[in-house]
Structure 1
Amino acid sequence: MTQIDCLIVDDEPIARDIIRTYCAHLPYLRVAGACGSALEARTVLMQQKVDIVFLDINMPVMDGISFLKTLKTPPQIIFTTAYKEYAVDAFDLAACDYLLKPFSLERFIVAVDKAMEKLQPAGNALVDAGESKEDDFLFLKADGKIYKVLHDELLYAEANGNYTKVRTTQHTLLPTMTFSGFEELVPKSRFLRIHRSFIINKSKIDHIEGNRVFIQNTEIPIGSNYREQFLRQIGLSS
Protein backbone atom coordinates (compact mmCIF):
# COMPACT_ATOMS: atom_id res chain seq x y z
CA MET A 1 0.00 0.00 0.00
CA THR A 2 1.17 3.51 -0.82
CA GLN A 3 2.63 5.51 2.08
CA ILE A 4 0.29 8.27 3.24
CA ASP A 5 1.92 11.36 4.79
CA CYS A 6 0.00 12.95 7.66
CA LEU A 7 0.33 16.20 9.56
CA ILE A 8 -1.03 16.63 13.11
CA VAL A 9 -2.07 20.17 14.06
CA ASP A 10 -3.20 20.68 17.66
CA ASP A 11 -2.13 23.08 20.40
CA GLU A 12 -2.51 20.37 23.08
CA PRO A 13 0.54 18.06 23.39
CA ILE A 14 -1.59 15.20 24.79
CA ALA A 15 -3.96 15.39 21.82
CA ARG A 16 -1.00 15.29 19.41
CA ASP A 17 0.40 12.24 21.21
CA ILE A 18 -2.94 10.39 21.02
CA ILE A 19 -3.20 10.92 17.26
CA ARG A 20 0.44 9.96 16.79
CA THR A 21 -0.24 6.73 18.72
CA TYR A 22 -3.33 6.00 16.61
CA CYS A 23 -1.30 6.60 13.42
CA ALA A 24 1.28 4.07 14.62
CA HIS A 25 -1.42 1.35 14.49
CA LEU A 26 -1.75 1.89 10.73
CA PRO A 27 1.54 1.00 9.02
CA TYR A 28 0.68 2.89 5.82
CA LEU A 29 0.42 6.22 7.72
CA ARG A 30 3.61 8.23 8.15
CA VAL A 31 3.54 11.22 10.51
CA ALA A 32 5.33 13.93 8.55
CA GLY A 33 5.08 16.40 11.41
CA ALA A 34 3.18 17.51 14.52
CA CYS A 35 2.48 21.22 14.97
CA GLY A 36 1.15 23.23 17.87
CA SER A 37 -0.32 26.02 15.74
CA ALA A 38 -1.83 26.75 12.33
CA LEU A 39 1.02 29.08 11.39
CA GLU A 40 3.57 26.36 12.11
CA ALA A 41 1.49 23.97 9.97
CA ARG A 42 1.52 26.46 7.07
CA THR A 43 5.32 26.38 7.09
CA VAL A 44 5.34 22.57 6.95
CA LEU A 45 2.81 22.48 4.09
CA MET A 46 4.93 24.92 2.09
CA GLN A 47 7.99 22.68 2.50
CA GLN A 48 6.55 19.24 1.83
CA LYS A 49 3.62 17.34 0.35
CA VAL A 50 1.09 16.10 2.91
CA ASP A 51 -1.89 13.84 2.11
CA ILE A 52 -3.96 14.12 5.32
CA VAL A 53 -4.10 16.82 8.00
CA PHE A 54 -5.56 16.07 11.43
CA LEU A 55 -6.66 19.58 12.34
CA ASP A 56 -7.85 20.95 15.67
CA ILE A 57 -10.29 23.86 15.43
CA ASN A 58 -10.00 25.77 18.70
CA MET A 59 -6.41 27.05 18.63
CA PRO A 60 -4.86 30.42 19.56
CA VAL A 61 -3.86 33.05 16.96
CA MET A 62 -5.61 31.25 14.08
CA ASP A 63 -8.33 28.61 14.47
CA GLY A 64 -8.50 25.52 12.27
CA ILE A 65 -11.39 26.70 10.08
CA SER A 66 -9.72 30.05 9.34
CA PHE A 67 -6.50 28.17 8.58
CA LEU A 68 -8.24 25.86 6.11
CA LYS A 69 -9.73 28.89 4.31
CA THR A 70 -6.18 30.14 3.65
CA LEU A 71 -5.18 26.96 1.78
CA LYS A 72 -5.62 27.11 -2.00
CA THR A 73 -5.22 23.37 -2.59
CA PRO A 74 -5.74 21.73 0.80
CA PRO A 75 -4.95 18.08 1.49
CA GLN A 76 -7.64 15.82 2.95
CA ILE A 77 -8.73 17.48 6.21
CA ILE A 78 -9.95 15.52 9.23
CA PHE A 79 -11.06 17.94 11.94
CA THR A 80 -10.40 16.89 15.54
CA THR A 81 -12.26 18.98 18.09
CA ALA A 82 -14.24 18.94 21.33
CA TYR A 83 -16.90 21.24 19.87
CA LYS A 84 -19.91 20.03 17.83
CA GLU A 85 -21.00 23.49 16.74
CA TYR A 86 -18.33 23.85 14.06
CA ALA A 87 -19.51 20.81 12.07
CA VAL A 88 -21.60 22.66 9.47
CA ASP A 89 -18.75 25.11 8.78
CA ALA A 90 -16.36 22.18 8.47
CA PHE A 91 -18.47 20.38 5.88
CA ASP A 92 -19.08 23.61 3.96
CA LEU A 93 -15.31 23.64 3.51
CA ALA A 94 -15.42 20.05 2.22
CA ALA A 95 -13.71 18.52 5.24
CA CYS A 96 -13.27 14.78 4.85
CA ASP A 97 -14.47 13.99 8.39
CA TYR A 98 -15.10 15.54 11.80
CA LEU A 99 -13.86 13.70 14.89
CA LEU A 100 -15.30 14.74 18.24
CA LYS A 101 -12.84 14.42 21.13
CA PRO A 102 -12.42 12.04 22.81
CA PHE A 103 -12.64 9.67 19.84
CA SER A 104 -11.82 5.97 19.70
CA LEU A 105 -9.23 4.23 17.53
CA GLU A 106 -12.11 2.61 15.62
CA ARG A 107 -13.65 6.01 14.80
CA PHE A 108 -10.20 7.33 13.83
CA ILE A 109 -9.71 4.45 11.37
CA VAL A 110 -13.14 5.15 9.80
CA ALA A 111 -12.05 8.77 9.20
CA VAL A 112 -8.71 7.71 7.70
CA ASP A 113 -10.50 5.22 5.42
CA LYS A 114 -12.72 8.06 4.13
CA ALA A 115 -9.65 10.15 3.37
CA MET A 116 -7.98 7.19 1.65
CA GLU A 117 -11.03 6.69 -0.59
CA LYS A 118 -10.80 10.32 -1.70
CA LEU A 119 -7.07 10.03 -2.31
CA GLN A 120 -7.22 6.80 -4.34
CA PRO A 121 -9.31 7.93 -7.35
CA ALA A 122 -6.91 10.78 -8.09
CA GLY A 123 -4.83 8.50 -10.33
CA ASN A 124 -7.94 7.47 -12.27
CA ALA A 125 -9.22 11.02 -12.80
CA LEU A 126 -8.74 10.97 -16.57
CA VAL A 127 -10.39 7.58 -16.97
CA ASP A 128 -13.38 8.53 -14.83
CA ALA A 129 -13.83 12.10 -16.06
CA GLY A 130 -16.60 11.21 -18.50
CA GLU A 131 -18.48 9.10 -15.96
CA SER A 132 -18.32 11.68 -13.20
CA LYS A 133 -19.74 14.34 -15.53
CA GLU A 134 -22.67 12.07 -16.33
CA ASP A 135 -23.23 11.53 -12.62
CA ASP A 136 -23.68 15.14 -11.57
CA PHE A 137 -27.28 15.57 -12.79
CA LEU A 138 -30.53 13.71 -13.30
CA PHE A 139 -33.62 14.04 -15.53
CA LEU A 140 -37.06 14.51 -13.96
CA LYS A 141 -40.34 14.33 -15.90
CA ALA A 142 -42.95 16.78 -14.57
CA ASP A 143 -45.77 18.93 -16.04
CA GLY A 144 -45.34 17.32 -19.43
CA LYS A 145 -41.70 18.41 -19.60
CA ILE A 146 -38.38 16.74 -18.86
CA TYR A 147 -36.11 18.80 -16.64
CA LYS A 148 -32.36 18.36 -16.39
CA VAL A 149 -31.50 19.06 -12.74
CA LEU A 150 -27.93 19.38 -11.50
CA HIS A 151 -27.25 17.69 -8.15
CA ASP A 152 -25.92 21.01 -6.92
CA GLU A 153 -29.30 22.66 -7.62
CA LEU A 154 -31.27 20.10 -5.61
CA LEU A 155 -32.23 21.29 -2.11
CA TYR A 156 -34.51 18.54 -0.81
CA ALA A 157 -37.25 16.08 -1.78
CA GLU A 158 -40.49 15.31 0.05
CA ALA A 159 -42.80 12.30 -0.28
CA ASN A 160 -46.17 13.57 -1.58
CA GLY A 161 -48.63 10.73 -2.24
CA ASN A 162 -47.90 9.16 -5.63
CA TYR A 163 -45.60 12.07 -6.42
CA THR A 164 -42.29 13.26 -5.02
CA LYS A 165 -42.08 16.99 -4.39
CA VAL A 166 -38.57 18.06 -5.49
CA ARG A 167 -37.38 21.50 -4.44
CA THR A 168 -34.51 22.97 -6.44
CA THR A 169 -32.88 26.40 -6.41
CA GLN A 170 -35.11 27.33 -9.37
CA HIS A 171 -38.23 25.14 -9.31
CA THR A 172 -40.62 23.08 -7.27
CA LEU A 173 -41.21 19.95 -9.35
CA LEU A 174 -43.75 17.14 -8.89
CA PRO A 175 -42.40 14.21 -10.93
CA THR A 176 -44.59 11.11 -11.07
CA MET A 177 -42.24 8.79 -9.24
CA THR A 178 -42.13 7.09 -5.87
CA PHE A 179 -40.04 8.52 -3.10
CA SER A 180 -37.88 5.40 -3.03
CA GLY A 181 -37.43 5.71 -6.80
CA PHE A 182 -36.10 9.24 -6.37
CA GLU A 183 -33.79 8.06 -3.57
CA GLU A 184 -32.24 5.53 -5.97
CA LEU A 185 -31.44 8.30 -8.50
CA VAL A 186 -29.30 10.47 -6.22
CA PRO A 187 -25.85 9.70 -4.71
CA LYS A 188 -26.18 8.56 -1.08
CA SER A 189 -22.92 10.25 -0.11
CA ARG A 190 -24.52 13.64 -0.71
CA PHE A 191 -28.28 13.12 -0.33
CA LEU A 192 -29.37 11.97 3.11
CA ARG A 193 -32.68 10.47 4.23
CA ILE A 194 -33.44 12.31 7.49
CA HIS A 195 -37.14 11.42 7.79
CA ARG A 196 -39.43 8.84 6.21
CA SER A 197 -40.75 11.69 4.03
CA PHE A 198 -37.64 13.81 3.44
CA ILE A 199 -34.30 13.52 1.63
CA ILE A 200 -31.95 16.52 1.84
CA ASN A 201 -28.84 17.71 0.03
CA LYS A 202 -26.18 17.70 2.78
CA SER A 203 -24.27 20.57 1.19
CA LYS A 204 -27.35 22.85 1.33
CA ILE A 205 -27.84 22.71 5.12
CA ASP A 206 -27.85 26.23 6.60
CA HIS A 207 -28.03 25.09 10.20
CA ILE A 208 -29.45 22.40 12.49
CA GLU A 209 -31.54 23.28 15.51
CA GLY A 210 -32.97 20.60 17.78
CA ASN A 211 -34.76 18.05 15.59
CA ARG A 212 -34.95 20.35 12.57
CA VAL A 213 -32.73 21.06 9.59
CA PHE A 214 -32.97 24.48 7.94
CA ILE A 215 -32.41 24.81 4.20
CA GLN A 216 -33.08 28.26 2.68
CA ASN A 217 -35.58 29.21 5.44
CA THR A 218 -37.43 25.90 5.14
CA GLU A 219 -37.72 23.78 8.32
CA ILE A 220 -37.34 20.06 7.69
CA PRO A 221 -37.96 17.59 10.55
CA ILE A 222 -35.39 14.96 11.54
CA GLY A 223 -37.22 11.68 12.19
CA SER A 224 -36.33 9.97 15.47
CA ASN A 225 -35.50 6.74 13.59
CA TYR A 226 -33.10 8.61 11.28
CA ARG A 227 -31.44 11.01 13.73
CA GLU A 228 -28.53 8.80 14.83
CA GLN A 229 -27.58 7.80 11.30
CA PHE A 230 -27.91 11.41 10.09
CA LEU A 231 -25.58 12.73 12.82
CA ARG A 232 -23.11 9.99 11.98
CA GLN A 233 -23.23 10.90 8.28
CA ILE A 234 -22.32 14.53 9.01
CA GLY A 235 -19.60 13.53 11.51
CA LEU A 236 -21.41 14.40 14.74
CA SER A 237 -21.70 10.92 16.27
CA SER A 238 -19.58 10.16 19.31
Structure 2
Amino acid sequence: MKQESDGIIRVGIGGWTYEPWQGTFYPEGHPRKRELEYASRQLTSIETNSTYYGAQKPESFAKWYEQTPDTLVFSVKAPRYVTHRKELAGAGEKIERFLTGGLAELKHKLGPINWQLMPGKAFEAADVEAFLKLLPRKVDGLALRHAIEARHVSFQTPEFIALARRHGIAVVIGADSEHPFIADTTAPFIYVRLMGTRQGEPLGYPARSLEQWARRAKAWSKGAAPEDLPRLAPDLPGTGKRDVYMYVIGGHKVANPLAAKSLITRISP
Protein backbone atom coordinates (compact mmCIF):
# COMPACT_ATOMS: atom_id res chain seq x y z
CA MET A 1 0.00 0.00 0.00
CA LYS A 2 2.93 2.34 0.61
CA GLN A 3 6.29 2.83 -1.00
CA GLU A 4 9.02 4.84 0.72
CA SER A 5 8.63 7.70 -1.73
CA ASP A 6 4.82 7.78 -1.56
CA GLY A 7 2.30 9.12 0.89
CA ILE A 8 -0.15 6.78 2.61
CA ILE A 9 -3.51 6.22 0.91
CA ARG A 10 -6.38 5.52 3.27
CA VAL A 11 -9.85 4.51 2.11
CA GLY A 12 -13.05 4.18 4.06
CA ILE A 13 -16.70 5.05 4.55
CA GLY A 14 -18.80 7.49 6.54
CA GLY A 15 -19.73 6.12 9.96
CA TRP A 16 -20.15 2.46 10.78
CA THR A 17 -23.81 2.14 11.82
CA TYR A 18 -26.35 1.56 9.05
CA GLU A 19 -29.10 -1.06 9.21
CA PRO A 20 -28.82 -2.31 5.57
CA TRP A 21 -25.14 -3.11 6.14
CA GLN A 22 -26.24 -6.04 8.30
CA GLY A 23 -25.79 -9.06 6.06
CA THR A 24 -24.20 -7.04 3.22
CA PHE A 25 -21.10 -5.66 4.95
CA TYR A 26 -21.37 -7.05 8.45
CA PRO A 27 -21.93 -10.79 8.81
CA GLU A 28 -25.55 -11.68 9.49
CA GLY A 29 -26.24 -11.35 13.20
CA HIS A 30 -23.01 -9.49 13.95
CA PRO A 31 -23.35 -7.72 17.35
CA ARG A 32 -24.14 -4.01 16.92
CA LYS A 33 -21.75 -3.02 19.68
CA ARG A 34 -18.89 -4.59 17.72
CA GLU A 35 -19.60 -2.97 14.35
CA LEU A 36 -16.75 -0.46 14.67
CA GLU A 37 -14.39 -3.25 15.64
CA TYR A 38 -15.34 -5.15 12.46
CA ALA A 39 -15.40 -2.16 10.06
CA SER A 40 -12.03 -0.89 11.26
CA ARG A 41 -10.43 -4.16 10.23
CA GLN A 42 -11.95 -4.19 6.75
CA LEU A 43 -11.06 -0.58 5.87
CA THR A 44 -8.12 1.74 6.50
CA SER A 45 -10.03 4.83 7.63
CA ILE A 46 -13.48 5.94 8.75
CA GLU A 47 -15.03 9.39 8.61
CA THR A 48 -17.16 9.97 11.70
CA ASN A 49 -20.78 11.11 11.36
CA SER A 50 -21.86 11.45 14.97
CA THR A 51 -19.42 14.28 15.62
CA TYR A 52 -21.23 16.34 12.98
CA TYR A 53 -24.58 16.12 14.72
CA GLY A 54 -23.46 16.95 18.24
CA ALA A 55 -20.75 16.94 20.87
CA GLN A 56 -19.18 13.63 21.84
CA LYS A 57 -17.86 12.78 25.27
CA PRO A 58 -14.12 12.20 25.74
CA GLU A 59 -15.03 8.66 26.77
CA SER A 60 -16.51 8.05 23.30
CA PHE A 61 -13.31 9.07 21.52
CA ALA A 62 -11.30 6.93 23.93
CA LYS A 63 -13.58 3.96 23.24
CA TRP A 64 -13.16 4.37 19.47
CA TYR A 65 -9.41 4.39 19.96
CA GLU A 66 -9.50 1.22 22.02
CA GLN A 67 -11.76 -0.71 19.64
CA THR A 68 -9.70 -0.14 16.49
CA PRO A 69 -6.31 -1.36 15.25
CA ASP A 70 -3.27 0.90 15.36
CA THR A 71 -3.33 1.21 11.58
CA LEU A 72 -6.78 2.83 11.43
CA VAL A 73 -7.19 6.60 11.14
CA PHE A 74 -10.38 8.53 11.83
CA SER A 75 -11.31 11.62 9.87
CA VAL A 76 -13.62 13.68 12.03
CA LYS A 77 -16.49 15.78 10.73
CA ALA A 78 -16.62 18.99 12.70
CA PRO A 79 -19.99 19.68 14.35
CA ARG A 80 -22.53 21.67 12.40
CA TYR A 81 -23.00 23.98 15.39
CA VAL A 82 -19.58 25.37 14.36
CA THR A 83 -19.87 25.54 10.58
CA HIS A 84 -23.57 26.20 9.94
CA ARG A 85 -23.53 29.90 10.55
CA LYS A 86 -23.81 33.04 8.44
CA GLU A 87 -20.52 34.50 9.67
CA LEU A 88 -17.74 31.97 10.05
CA ALA A 89 -15.42 34.52 11.62
CA GLY A 90 -17.40 34.37 14.86
CA ALA A 91 -16.93 30.63 15.39
CA GLY A 92 -13.78 30.85 17.52
CA GLU A 93 -15.31 29.89 20.87
CA LYS A 94 -17.20 26.93 19.39
CA ILE A 95 -14.14 25.74 17.49
CA GLU A 96 -12.18 25.68 20.74
CA ARG A 97 -15.01 23.89 22.55
CA PHE A 98 -15.06 21.15 19.92
CA LEU A 99 -11.30 20.70 19.65
CA THR A 100 -10.78 20.55 23.42
CA GLY A 101 -13.79 18.30 24.05
CA GLY A 102 -11.93 14.98 23.97
CA LEU A 103 -10.67 14.81 20.37
CA ALA A 104 -7.12 14.21 21.57
CA GLU A 105 -8.29 10.86 23.01
CA LEU A 106 -7.92 9.51 19.47
CA LYS A 107 -4.16 10.11 19.74
CA HIS A 108 -2.25 9.01 16.63
CA LYS A 109 -5.48 7.71 15.07
CA LEU A 110 -6.76 11.26 14.53
CA GLY A 111 -6.71 12.15 10.84
CA PRO A 112 -8.02 15.31 9.15
CA ILE A 113 -10.94 17.32 10.47
CA ASN A 114 -13.58 18.07 7.84
CA TRP A 115 -15.17 21.49 8.32
CA GLN A 116 -18.24 21.05 6.11
CA LEU A 117 -19.97 24.35 5.35
CA MET A 118 -23.72 24.64 4.90
CA PRO A 119 -24.91 24.59 1.26
CA GLY A 120 -26.24 28.13 1.45
CA LYS A 121 -22.97 29.64 2.65
CA ALA A 122 -21.56 31.72 -0.22
CA PHE A 123 -17.90 32.59 -0.60
CA GLU A 124 -16.83 35.78 1.13
CA ALA A 125 -13.05 36.03 1.09
CA ALA A 126 -12.62 38.02 4.31
CA ASP A 127 -15.00 35.80 6.29
CA VAL A 128 -13.49 32.56 4.99
CA GLU A 129 -9.95 33.71 5.69
CA ALA A 130 -10.91 34.79 9.21
CA PHE A 131 -12.32 31.29 9.77
CA LEU A 132 -9.20 29.57 8.43
CA LYS A 133 -7.06 31.65 10.79
CA LEU A 134 -9.08 30.28 13.72
CA LEU A 135 -8.08 26.68 12.99
CA PRO A 136 -5.12 25.77 15.24
CA ARG A 137 -2.19 23.59 14.24
CA LYS A 138 -2.26 21.58 17.47
CA VAL A 139 -4.55 20.58 20.33
CA ASP A 140 -3.11 19.14 23.53
CA GLY A 141 0.20 18.66 21.70
CA LEU A 142 -1.46 16.66 18.91
CA ALA A 143 -0.89 17.92 15.35
CA LEU A 144 -4.06 18.78 13.44
CA ARG A 145 -4.89 18.58 9.75
CA HIS A 146 -7.81 20.64 8.50
CA ALA A 147 -9.99 20.29 5.39
CA ILE A 148 -12.82 22.58 4.33
CA GLU A 149 -15.80 21.32 2.36
CA ALA A 150 -17.43 24.15 0.41
CA ARG A 151 -20.92 23.42 -0.91
CA HIS A 152 -21.84 26.64 -2.70
CA VAL A 153 -20.93 27.27 -6.33
CA SER A 154 -19.40 30.67 -5.49
CA PHE A 155 -16.39 28.85 -3.98
CA GLN A 156 -15.33 27.80 -7.47
CA THR A 157 -12.87 30.65 -7.76
CA PRO A 158 -9.06 30.89 -7.77
CA GLU A 159 -9.31 33.28 -4.81
CA PHE A 160 -10.61 30.47 -2.60
CA ILE A 161 -7.81 28.17 -3.74
CA ALA A 162 -5.25 30.85 -2.91
CA LEU A 163 -6.68 31.30 0.59
CA ALA A 164 -6.67 27.58 1.31
CA ARG A 165 -3.07 27.26 0.11
CA ARG A 166 -1.96 30.22 2.19
CA HIS A 167 -3.17 28.49 5.33
CA GLY A 168 -2.32 24.89 4.36
CA ILE A 169 -5.96 23.79 4.45
CA ALA A 170 -7.14 21.02 2.12
CA VAL A 171 -10.18 21.70 -0.03
CA VAL A 172 -12.42 18.63 0.08
CA ILE A 173 -12.84 17.07 -3.36
CA GLY A 174 -16.52 16.17 -3.40
CA ALA A 175 -17.26 14.04 -6.44
CA ASP A 176 -20.53 12.95 -8.05
CA SER A 177 -22.83 15.19 -6.05
CA GLU A 178 -24.94 18.32 -6.50
CA HIS A 179 -22.27 20.39 -4.78
CA PRO A 180 -19.37 22.12 -6.58
CA PHE A 181 -16.49 19.92 -7.69
CA ILE A 182 -13.16 21.49 -6.76
CA ALA A 183 -10.09 19.33 -7.38
CA ASP A 184 -7.20 21.74 -6.75
CA THR A 185 -4.43 20.61 -4.42
CA THR A 186 -4.08 23.10 -1.58
CA ALA A 187 -2.38 21.23 1.29
CA PRO A 188 0.20 18.50 2.02
CA PHE A 189 -2.63 15.95 1.97
CA ILE A 190 -5.70 15.15 -0.14
CA TYR A 191 -9.27 14.64 1.07
CA VAL A 192 -11.79 13.03 -1.31
CA ARG A 193 -15.48 12.19 -0.78
CA LEU A 194 -17.05 9.97 -3.46
CA MET A 195 -20.82 10.37 -3.39
CA GLY A 196 -22.04 8.65 -6.53
CA THR A 197 -22.57 4.98 -5.78
CA ARG A 198 -25.77 3.74 -7.39
CA GLN A 199 -28.15 0.84 -7.27
CA GLY A 200 -27.58 -1.84 -9.86
CA GLU A 201 -23.78 -1.61 -9.68
CA PRO A 202 -22.46 -4.61 -7.72
CA LEU A 203 -19.61 -2.50 -6.31
CA GLY A 204 -21.51 0.77 -6.21
CA TYR A 205 -19.34 2.26 -8.97
CA PRO A 206 -18.46 0.77 -12.37
CA ALA A 207 -15.06 -0.94 -12.38
CA ARG A 208 -13.63 1.70 -14.72
CA SER A 209 -14.56 4.47 -12.25
CA LEU A 210 -12.95 2.63 -9.36
CA GLU A 211 -9.80 2.13 -11.44
CA GLN A 212 -9.80 5.82 -12.31
CA TRP A 213 -10.02 6.93 -8.68
CA ALA A 214 -7.35 4.41 -7.67
CA ARG A 215 -5.00 5.89 -10.31
CA ARG A 216 -5.73 9.40 -9.09
CA ALA A 217 -5.04 8.41 -5.49
CA LYS A 218 -1.70 6.91 -6.49
CA ALA A 219 -0.77 10.06 -8.42
CA TRP A 220 -1.61 12.31 -5.46
CA SER A 221 0.39 10.07 -3.11
CA LYS A 222 3.46 10.67 -5.28
CA GLY A 223 2.97 14.43 -5.20
CA ALA A 224 1.53 14.67 -8.71
CA ALA A 225 -1.77 16.19 -9.82
CA PRO A 226 -4.03 13.88 -11.89
CA GLU A 227 -4.18 15.35 -15.38
CA ASP A 228 -7.80 14.33 -15.97
CA LEU A 229 -9.23 16.59 -13.26
CA PRO A 230 -10.17 20.26 -13.79
CA ARG A 231 -8.37 22.94 -11.80
CA LEU A 232 -9.18 26.52 -10.93
CA ALA A 233 -5.58 27.62 -10.38
CA PRO A 234 -2.12 26.56 -11.54
CA ASP A 235 -0.73 23.46 -9.87
CA LEU A 236 1.37 23.77 -6.77
CA PRO A 237 5.08 23.26 -7.40
CA GLY A 238 6.39 19.83 -6.52
CA THR A 239 5.87 19.26 -2.81
CA GLY A 240 6.77 15.59 -2.60
CA LYS A 241 4.57 12.78 -1.36
CA ARG A 242 1.09 13.42 0.05
CA ASP A 243 -1.19 11.32 2.21
CA VAL A 244 -4.60 10.66 0.65
CA TYR A 245 -7.88 10.21 2.50
CA MET A 246 -10.69 8.86 0.33
CA TYR A 247 -14.22 8.09 1.55
CA VAL A 248 -17.19 6.54 -0.21
CA ILE A 249 -20.13 8.52 1.18
CA GLY A 250 -23.81 8.90 0.35
CA GLY A 251 -25.24 7.72 -2.96
CA HIS A 252 -26.50 4.12 -2.78
CA LYS A 253 -25.18 3.78 0.73
CA VAL A 254 -25.63 0.03 1.06
CA ALA A 255 -22.86 -0.45 -1.54
CA ASN A 256 -20.37 2.00 -0.05
CA PRO A 257 -18.33 -0.51 1.99
CA LEU A 258 -17.98 -2.75 -1.07
CA ALA A 259 -16.79 0.19 -3.18
CA ALA A 260 -14.29 1.21 -0.50
CA LYS A 261 -12.92 -2.32 -0.19
CA SER A 262 -12.63 -2.55 -3.96
CA LEU A 263 -10.62 0.69 -4.02
CA ILE A 264 -8.30 -0.65 -1.33
CA THR A 265 -7.68 -3.76 -3.43
CA ARG A 266 -6.91 -1.66 -6.52
CA ILE A 267 -4.59 0.69 -4.65
CA SER A 268 -2.63 -1.99 -2.81
CA PRO A 269 0.49 -3.25 -4.63
TM-score normalised by structure 2 residue count: 0.29
Q: TM-score of the superposition, structure 1-length normalised? A: 0.32
Q: Which has the higher contact order (CA 8 A, sep 6+)?
A: 2
Is the strand fraction higher in 1 or 2? 1
